[in-house]
Amino acid sequence: MEQQIKELERQARQLETTVQDRKSLINKATGYGEEFLNSLSEKPAYVNSETMGKGVYELPFDEKPKDFDQLLQALKSEVDLPGLNPASGKHAGYIPGGGLYPSAIADYLAAVTNRYTGVFFSSPGAVRIENMCIRWMNDLIGYPDGASGNLTSGGSIANLIGLVVTRDDSGIKAEDFSRAVIYTTQQVHHCVIKAIKFAGLGEATLRTIPMDDHYRMKADALEEQIKSDKKDGRIPLTIFASAGTTDLGAVDPLDEIGDIAEQHDLWFHVDAAYGGFFLLTEHGKEMMKGIEKSDSATIDPHKGLFLPYGSGALLVKDGERLYESQHMSANYLQDTYKATEEASPADLSPELSKHFRGLRMWLPLQLFGVQPFRAALDEKLLLTRYFYDKIQQIDSIEVGPEPELSVAFFRYVPENGDANAFNKKLVNEIHNDGRVFLSSTHLNGTVYLRLAVLNFRTHLEDIDLILSVLREKIRKLEVI
């Protein structure tokens, strides 16, 4: 048996790279990254590829090793070329992600050291870093010292945890779920609908409260609906408001909604995944007045802090409520219970094993300071207003309401033909061209194009290029 163990050990030791191997791998990887970033300004924002990355299937997993250069080439041609380039400053569709370089360094360090950040006992310094990030975001929202939270993979999981905390804190039983009512608008992110299903509340009633002409929830309609539901014997459970809807960038009247929630003893959750970090700006503070009245909030550092994808957060005003909902003990973890100086992430989330996410947020905030982030967000707000003003100088353009944050929507109305068909062709022309990227949406059957400015690399020259491409494609389609 010992001989067999030794032989298996010899084979398994191939997984431990040598100093020379590590240097070669990291040098080639950083070289690849440098080439990608140095040529980023010349790269298209979107590539409409016929193969759509199918070449990765030519590299099946098998018993024999492959050359790293070959794998990097596959990444270049099959992963980093086709489709949308989220790193590009010319990506102004959907809600752009970030990709700060120091965050990539942080992820490298976190992965190499492989710290386990589930419990304070196992990695106290790492957990302190994550809790430090959460505390900073709670301060930004305006929550008190007893607030808590958890770093998640994104807004979807954050909203799900927030809804589960709401459900658990309410004390309602499964037999009551069909009487429960959740209040939101048609502009709520679809991940909330998924969260309702995953939280076991599929039988609950989802009330879509009417919106004003800026696509914001009508507070008076909300209050009337709550009163009506109470009168009918239903159980008002929670209000899901938005601080920057993904589709249109609308901000619900949080101050008024907060008062209504308090009056009727409802849990008040704000989905600020997109808009939350605009609180760093004076404009954002004004737009989101009242967010501090919420019981919980979702905020995504991979949006407004420009971090890589996989960076979300749930914040809860009363941290004990989050702990009571998510905490669970296990026999094999008994050694960890003696270290309780800091809250453990595993006690505040469904996750046990998790990546050390906090380092990718902590490192750039320490390296750059907060000021450049605030300046970048103010820049995005002004760029959106600049676009909104300039796009109206194109004949036959119709625009939506003045942007509240950094999303603007518009459409072209041709003299002849169907406007919806024209705008679908227009967005397809933009995608086929690839120099810039915009997305489309539809409101009550009307097709619009969307501009979403949030990439930290998007600057004035990029917005001017977007305007130029729009003029060019409109002229082309009008001739056709």
Residues 122, 339: Cα–Cα separation, whole Å? 9
Same domain for 225 and 271?
yes
Same domain for 115 and 233?
yes
Total Cβ atoms within 10 A of residue 353 = 8
Same domain for 225 and 318?
yes
Same domain for 422 and 293?
no
Intervals of the chain under pLDDT 70: none
Q: What integer pLDDT is reported at residue 7 of this predicted model?
A: 95
Residues 147, 152: Cα–Cα separation, whole Å? 16
Q: What integer pLDDT is reported at residue 147 of this predicted model?
A: 98
Same domain for 144 and 211?
yes
CB 182 within 8 A of CB 206: yes
- Please return the burial class of 239, using the count of CB atoms within 10 Å of its CB with bins 0-12, 13-18 and 19+: buried
Q: Estimate to the nearest angstrom the gap between the alpha carbon of 37 and the chain centroid.
A: 23
Domain assignment present for residue 272? The answer is yes
Q: What integer pLDDT is reported at residue 206 of this predicted model?
A: 96
How many domains is the chain partitioned into structurally?
3
Q: How far apart are the first and last CA of the chain?
A: 78
- pLDDT tens-digit map of 426-477: 999 999 999 999 999 999 999 999 999 999 999 999 999 999 999 999 999 9
Amino acid at 56: V
Domain assignment present for residue 167? The answer is yes
Instruction: Report the predicted TM-score, pTM, of the whole model to 2 decimal places.
Output: 0.95
Same domain for 267 and 140?
yes
Q: What integer pLDDT is reported at residue 60 of this predicted model?
A: 95
Same domain for 129 and 191?
yes
Same domain for 63 and 137?
no
Same domain for 260 and 136?
yes
Same domain for 38 and 130?
no
Same domain for 332 and 253?
yes
Domain assignment present for residue 32? The answer is yes
- pLDDT tens-digit map of 304-327: 999 999 999 999 999 999 999 999
Total Cβ atoms within 10 A of residue 403 = 22
Strands 235-242 and 180-184: parallel
Q: CATH number of the domain at 425, please.
A: 3.90.1150.10
- Please return the burial class of 135, using the count of CB atoms within 10 Å of its CB with bins 0-12, 13-18 and 19+: middle
Q: What integer pLDDT is reported at residue 13 of this predicted model?
A: 94
Q: What integer pLDDT is reported at residue 31 of this predicted model?
A: 97
Residues 400, 391: Cα–Cα separation, whole Å? 11
CB 241 within 8 A of CB 270: yes
Q: What integer pLDDT is reported at residue 364 of this predicted model?
A: 98
Domain assignment present for residue 100? The answer is no
Choose one of 325, 358, 391: the last residue of a domain: 358
Q: Which of 453, 460, 459 is nearest to 275 (CA)?
A: 453
CB 269 within 8 A of CB 285: no
Q: CATH number of the domain at 127, please.
A: 3.40.640.10
Domain assignment present for residue 20? The answer is yes
Same domain for 353 and 403?
no
Strands 235-242 and 296-299: unpaired
Range of the domain at 60: 2-85
Token pair listed for 203 = 């039988």
